[in-house]
Structure 1
Amino acid sequence: MLRLARENPLWGYRRIAGALAALGYRVGASRVWLILKTAGIDPAPRRVEPTWSEFLRAQATGILACDFFHCDTVLFKRLYCLVVMELGTRRVHVLGITEHPSGPWVAQQARNLMIELGNRAEGFRFLIRDRDTKFTTMFDDVFTAAGIGILKTPPRAPRANAFTERWIGGLRRELLDRILIVNARHLRRVLATYETHFNEHRPHRSLGQAAPLRALPDPVEADIKVIRRDRLDGLIHEYTQVA
């Protein structure tokens, strides 16, 4: 019964009961319902629809995800930062920093991203964003003009954009909570350094411990020398090997 349900996601309880009867097992549809419910198998219509996490895994190579985060300086000014992640490779683009994230400014950051992506923009189908009013129609039009659909997350559902939310959380824990930011220029330099570290050095479990822009080297059996480089006054450690 469980095998029939898993291998035939369009079959309902009565259809499964009929298939069992053809095999010589006379079981009522209500009994089938009870057994499948106990096993945690949903009714037929819900079995054929992928979950949000399944959709993201299946479409990751064609999805961009963006979000805003803020940073308060020592002079009590709040700076807003816009970040975009390529879900397939986990590559991050820190697009810009401003005190006043107006609609035209946000749209210009989207145009800059499309220029940076170049021909690779054709490989993306969706952009995930929340319902923040900073994301105006001008912002959406930049992506829709390139054939990229806009997927808005439900209200108060940060898990729907979990990849960028997790990146922002890691950025705060690893860097912003450990350093005092003076002004926008200082924050740009700090974020540029962290972006390079994240894309070229930081290992990712989803990539088999590789970095978005750096594949893992071949296994080394001989002795090697490991060199550590500290960045941002030792807040970031990067390791390289020398034969």
Structure 2
Amino acid sequence: MRVVVIRLIYLLACQTFRWLALLARSSATKDAEILMLRHQLAIVQRNRPRPRFFWSDRAVMAALLRIFSNQRRSQLPVLVTPRTVLRWHARLIAWKWTHPSRRPGRPPTPEALRQLVLRLARENPGWGYRRIHGELLGLGRKVGASTVWEILKKAGIEPSPQRADRSWAVFLRAQASAIVATDLFHIDTVFLRRWFVLFFVDQGTRSVHIAGITRHPTGPWITQQARNYLMDLGDHAESIKFLIRDRGTYFTDSFDAVFQEIGVRVIPTLPQVPRMNAIAERWIGSCRREATDRVLITGQRHLRLVVSEYADHYNRHRPHRSLGQHPPDQLIAAEPRSASDRTMVSRLDRLGGLIHEYKQAA
């Protein structure tokens, strides 16, 4: 019992001396100690079961520890050891000297230039980055070849041999610009006379040329119409590489010779296979449905007027799905201006109002 009393008196005396020492300390030190203890308590409550320090926690604790003396720092209850604080300081010094430079480097590539590079790559699958670089220089865009390569790589565009489209659709579309087809179709007039219309159609542009109209399609007549057609084409006749025709007796050897003289290969269709000349057959069907079957033809002059008027409408105004809803003669024409609610639309009647054409009023 006496030992317990003596120990209690000793503890009270020690605590009394601690309170006296606390009264002798400055208010700044007390406030710093309170802040330190509160901050550590917040860390413990935030991260359980094991405290986890963020960079902001390290900065606050390091700043508060500098206020205390070495003796008091050793007595203060801290969640970390002095060695840990020293390690934080070493990391801070290492970060300072290894942090990347903030000096401005190479300026980023303009977005407009990047979009132009991607457009050239999409529209020209056979072009590599060197070819695109040369095209950009021709357009007055000063850019390095490595920059073009980097733009294509970041966009996931493969080199030109891998991204080239070798499908049948692309192959046939490229060949169509060098193919011309020809055929005849007949029209019966109101007087029960049959007339034949000879035409040529460019499979690349779908442009139709009415060559002639006759009641008796003989070999010499068709051969002469072929010569007239090539004369009308002029220098453009050299772009023709293939001619598709049926096996009618009116297409004689002299007719083939007219085209073979300029290097055109004549390809007769197989018997009873009209799909080999599908574009010409399609034009015949369109002409019948939209023009000749809706008019009573009286004679050759009337038939020539109707067919020529429809061919002009077909070439200049009628939209074609295979051409992106553009007429053959306006493939490279500028897009019409955007219409608004106040835009006026005018109508042009052709073939006596049988066909209507619409355009924006000026």
Q: 1 CA distance for matches of 2:271 and 2:261? A: 26
For the pair 1:89 / 2:208, whether they are aligned, the reply is no
Report the residue type matching 1:208 in the other structure.
G
Aligned to 1:45: none
Partners of 2:180 and 2:200 within 8 A in 1: yes
Residue 220 (1) aligns with residue 341 (2):
no
State whether residues 209 and 216 of structure 1, in contact with CA within 8 Å, keep that contact through their aligned partners in structure 2.
Answer: no
Q: Which structure has the bigger radius of gyration?
A: 2
Further displaced range: 228-237 or 215-224: 215-224
C-alpha contact 2:201 2:280 (8 A) present in aligned 1 = yes
CA deviation after TM superposition for structure 1 residue 205, in Å: 1.1
Correspondence for 2:252: 136
Tell me the distance in 2 between the aligned counterparts of 1:164 and 1:228.
29
For 2:169 and 2:326, the matched residues in 1 are separated by 22
Please tell me whether the aligned partners of residues 314 and 327 of structure 2 are also in contact (alpha carbons under 8 angstroms): yes
1:242 paired to 2:349: no
1:115 maps to 2:234: no
List aligned pairs for 1:171-182, cutoff 5 A: 171-182=287-298
Would the alpha carbon gap of residues 196 and 129 (structure 1) be closer, same or farther in structure 2, given more than 3 Å must change? Answer: same
- Quick one: distance in 2 between partners of 1:106 and 1:217? 39
Distance 2:185 2:179 in 1: 20
**1:143 and 1:149 in contact (8 A); partners too:** yes
Residues 1:158 and 1:208: Cα distance change in structure 2 (over 3 Å): same
Quickly say closer, same or farther: Cα 1:91–1:239, change in 2 above 3 A: same
- Residues 151 and 166 of structure 1: is their aligned pair in 2 closer, same or farther, counting only changes over 3 Å? same
Name the SS of the counterpart of 1:213 in structure 2: helix
Structure number with the higher strand fraction is 1
Q: Which residue of 2 aligns with 1:200?
A: 316
Identity, % of aligned pairs? 53
Q: Check conservation: 1:210, 1:216, Cα contact below 8 A.
A: no
Residues 243 and 267, structure 2, Cα contact 8 Å, conserved in 1: yes
Instruction: Tell me the distance in 1 between the aligned counterparts of 2:254 and 2:197.
Output: 18
Alignment-derived partner of residue 299 in structure 2: 183
Map Cα deviations across residues 102-139 of structure 1 (whole Å, 9 max, x no partner): 11100011001001110001111000011111111111
Q: In the superposition, relative to structure 1, how do residues 52 and 132 fare at CA in structure 2: closer, same or farther (>3 Å)?
A: farther
- Distance across 1 between alignment mates of 2:210 and 2:351: 17
Partner residue, 1:28: none
The alpha-carbon distance between structure 1 residues 158 and 112, as it changes in their structure 2 partners (threshold 3 A), is: same
Which of 257, 276, 281 matches 1:165? Answer: 281
**What value does the CA root-mean-square deviation take over the aligned residues?**
1.8
Name the count of aligned residue pairs. Answer: 194
Structure 1 residues without counterparts, runs of 5 or longer: 1-49
What does residue 57 of structure 1 align with? 173
146 and 106 in structure 1: CA distance in 2 versus 1, 3 angstrom threshold: same
Confirm or deny: 8 A CA contact 2:292 2:307 kept in the other structure: no
Deviations 1:202-232 (A, max 9, x none): 0011111111112352441444211111111
Match of 2:186 in 1: 70
The alpha carbon displacement at 1:52 in A equals 8.9
Higher normalized contact order (CA 8 Å, seq sep 6+, divided by chain length):
1
Distance 1:130 1:55 in 2: 23
Return the alpha-carbon distance in structure 1 between the equivalents of residues 257 and 168 of structure 2.
Answer: 24
CA distance in structure 2 between the partners assigned to 1:139 and 1:94 by the alignment: 17
Q: Report the equivalent of 1:232.
A: 351
Which residue type is aligned with residue 175 of structure 1? A
Normalising by structure 1, we get a TM-score of 0.76
1:193, 1:205 → 2: CA distance? 21
